[in-house]
Amino acid sequence: MNLSQAVLQVLDTVLGLAGRTATFGRETLLLGAVPELDSMAVVSLITALENRFDMVIDDDDIDASTFTTVGSLSDFVRAKLAV
């Protein structure tokens, strides 16, 4: 499983999308486009990403652009893992 697939799996699980992420690509809009991704879900998603990828995400590390698309979220995780 590649990193983008792992991020999609976390999204699917945390948001309870029941496999809908199978149709998501890098350009798929998230924040504002996926109704399940509200402010509370963002917090849960951050925690799940930290646990899945064994990393720490500080508040200063993220902003709304992190959650714009599947690609931006995957790129964020990739960058955090490279540090």
Burial (CB count <10 Å: 0-12, 13-18, 19+), residue 39: exposed
pTM of the model: 0.94
**Cα gap 7→63, rounded to integer Å:** 17
Q: Where are the domains of the chain?
A: 3-82
Please tell me the predicted confidence (pLDDT) of residue 5: 96
Give the domain 3-82 fold.
Answer: 1.10.1200
Confidence of residue 83 (pLDDT cuts 50, 70, 90): confident
* pLDDT one-digit tens code per residue, 35-57: 999 999 999 999 999 999 999 99
Angle ∠(73,28,37) on CA atoms, nearest 5: 65
